[in-house]
Amino acid sequence: MKNVKKYVIIGNGTAAAGCVEGIRSIDKECEITVISAENHPVYCRPLISYYLEGKTDVERMKYRPDDFYEKNGCKVLYGREAKRIDAKNKKVTLDNGETIEYDALCSATGSSPFVPPMQGLDTVKQKFTFMTLDDTLAIEKAIKPTSRVLIIGAGLIGLKCAEGLHGRVKSITVCDLADRVLSSILDEESAAAVQKHLENNGISFLLGDSAAKFDGNTAEMKSGVQVKFDILVLAVGVRANTSLVSETGGACKRGITVDEHMKTTVKDIYAAGDCTESKDISDGNVKVMALLPNAYIQGHCAGVNMAGGSEAFDNAVPMNSIGFFGLHIMTAGSRTDEENGGQVFDESEDGNIKKLFVKNDKLTGFVLVGNVERTGIYTSLIRSQTPLSSINFDFLRKNPNLFSFSTNYRRKNLGSVV
C-alpha cells in the first residue's frame, strides 16, 4: 500500500502559496491541508494600498488563479485558526477542536500589527490597522470625502496607506517617533527628499513626535500639538506570529528560527515568510525580513524540503521597491559608512539619489530614489557577493550595465540557459 504523506500549512498567504508549489514540484500525490484564518483565497497582501488607490480590485488582487487549490489538490479550511501544535504526536488542533495529523508542517503564520499601549486609545471609535484585505475593506467603508485621517507610523505600511487614501479623504497626517520617514530603509537625505515629495502631494507630517494620549477624535502629541481626526490608522509596526512554534519548544527570537532549508528546531516543522527570522547576508545579522519575495522563496523552499526534495535559500537580503505618487524608491541590503570600515559612493545627480554602500570589496547595499532603471544588476551583486575587484565597478556605479562584467560572464548569461 502506498504511503500518502500528509502536509499541513498554517497560513494562507504568499509563503503558503510558495509552500504548496514547492511540495507539488516534488510530490503529486500527498494530501495538503491549508489552514486559512482569513476568509479569502491567497491574495496579494502588498496590493491593499493599490486597492484603496483604485489601481486594482479584489478580483485582480488574487495571487493565483481561481483553480489554484483544486489544481494542487489542497484542502483549504477557511476561517479556521490553528490553536496548538502537538509536535510529539504530529497533529494540529484547530479553534473548533478538530485535530489534523501531519507528516510535515509549515508555519506560514505571517505577522500581526503591533499596537503599543496608548492612553485613551479605547475612546477612539474609528481605528484600524492596515495589514489585511479585511482591514482595507473596513477602512474603505469608514472613510468619507470629509474625513481627516491620522496615521501613526511613517514606515512602509503607514505611507502606502497614506498614498492609497489620498484623494479619497479631506486630509492625511502621518506621525512617527522617528525623525524621518521610512527610517528602516532610508538614510536622512533620501528620507527628506521622499518626505518633501509626499508633502508636495498634500500629506502632512509630525515627525519625531508621538501620540501621548487620545480623547475621542483628538490626539494629543508629546510635543503638545493637538490633532483632530475622524479616522485613526495604527501602523506602528508588526510582530512575527511565532507562538504556535515557540509553544512546541521551537527556537524563536523576533521571528521563528529557521535554517537555510526553512527547518525550525522542531522535527518535521518548517516555517516560512514574515513569521521567520533568518540571516541577512549583506551584514551577517539574523533578522526578520518581511518581504513578499522572501516569503515566496522561503515557502517554496520549505515545501520542497517537506516533500523530501532538497532546496536551500541562503542568500536573503532585505530589499524594497516602493513608490509614492510616481516617485520610485529602491533599496536593498544594508548601509555602511567609513566609521564601520565601509565606503559610500554617492552617485546622485539631476535630482535622482543614488548611494552605493561598499565594504570588504563587496556591495552591501544601495538606496536609489528617482531613476531606478536596471537596479536588479546592483541587487544581484549584493546577493551573489561578487568581489567588486573582479568587475569594472567604477563604470558600473555610474549606471547599472552588463558591460562592466567580463566577456565570460556575458557569454555564460546571455548565451546559455540560466
Partner 1 sequence: MKRVYVNEEWCLGCHLCEYNCAYANSGISNMVKALKGKEIFPRIHVEGDDKITYAVSCRHCTDPMCVKSCISGALHLEDGAVCIDRDKCVGCLTCILVCPYGAIAQDENGAVQKCELCLKNANGAPACAAGCPNNAIVYEER
Q: At 77, is the secondary structure helix, strand, or coil?
A: strand
Count the Cβ atoms, other than its own, within 10 Å of residue 75: 12
Three cell numbers at 162? 497614506
At residue 222, φ and ψ (nearest 5 deg) are -55, -35
Tell me how far, at minimum, the Cβ of 194 lies from partner 1, in Å. Answer: 15
Tell me how far, at minimum, the Cβ of 46 lies from partner 1, in Å. Answer: 4
Burial (CB < 10 A; 0-12, 13-18, 19+), residue 280, is: buried
Query: Closer to partner 1 at the Cβ: 248 or 404?
Result: 404
Query: Closer to partner 1 at the Cβ: 269 or 388?
Result: 388
Query: Closer to partner 1 at the Cβ: 47 or 256?
Result: 47
Tell me how far, at minimum, the Cβ of 145 lies from partner 1, in Å. Answer: 24
Q: Between helices 14-24 and 292-306, what is the axis angle to 10°?
A: 30
Distance in angstroms (rounded) separating the CA atoms of residues 388 and 381: 8
Tell me how far, at minimum, the Cβ of 1 lies from partner 1, in Å. Answer: 35
Distance in angstroms (rounded) separating the CA atoms of residues 221 and 203: 18
Tell me how far, at minimum, the Cβ of 396 lies from partner 1, in Å. Answer: 11
Three cell numbers at 372? 531606478
Residues forming contacts to partner 1 in the complex (CB under 8 A) are 18, 44, 46-47, 50, 55-56, 60-64, 292-293, 296-297, 300, 319-323, 326, 328, 330, 332, 372-377, 379-380, 400-403, 407, 410-411, 413-418
Query: Closer to partner 1 at the Cβ: 96 or 384?
Result: 384
Cell numbers 516555517 correspond to what residue? 271
Tell me how far, at minimum, the Cβ of 363 lies from partner 1, in Å. Answer: 13
Three cell numbers at 406? 567580463
Whats the size of the chain, residue-wise? Answer: 418
Distance in angstroms (rounded) separating the CA atoms of residues 75 and 264: 24
Query: Closer to partner 1 at the Cβ: 250 or 333?
Result: 333
Query: Closer to partner 1 at the Cβ: 97 or 326?
Result: 326
